[in-house]
């Protein structure tokens, strides 16, 4: 079994961090769709509060992943 080079591993890890960010965007869109006010249960005010609070957490996680991806990608370019 051939070992992967350090550059390849860093590039794959950077891609994984970007992929996690994309999946989080899709999950947030699903969350918004499921909590959209339809007349019974959650009202508009509660829905907006839920979207903002969950969105801020997801935004922080996405920002951290994108920073890590940038660092990993730049490290893979260095020799």
The pLDDT value given to residue 16: 96
The pLDDT value given to residue 1: 59
Burial class from Cβ neighbours inside 10 Å (0-12, 13-18, 19+) for residue 42 reads middle
| Residue segments in the chain with a per-residue pLDDT below the cut of 70 | 1-2, 79
The pLDDT value given to residue 66: 96
- Each domain of the chain, given as residue ranges in start order, spans 6-77
The pLDDT value given to residue 20: 97
The pLDDT value given to residue 79: 58
The pLDDT value given to residue 65: 97
The pLDDT value given to residue 2: 67
């Amino acid at each position: 079994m051939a070992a992967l080079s350090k550059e390849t591993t860093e590039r794959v890890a950077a891609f994984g961090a970007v992929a996690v960010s994309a999946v989080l965007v899709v999950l947030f869109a699903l969350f918004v769709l499921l909590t959209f006010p339809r007349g019974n249960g959650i009202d508009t005010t509660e829905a907006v509060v839920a979207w903002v609070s969950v969105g801020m957490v997801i935004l922080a996680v996405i920002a951290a992943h994108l920073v890590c991806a940038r660092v990993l990608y730049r490290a893979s370019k260095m020799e």
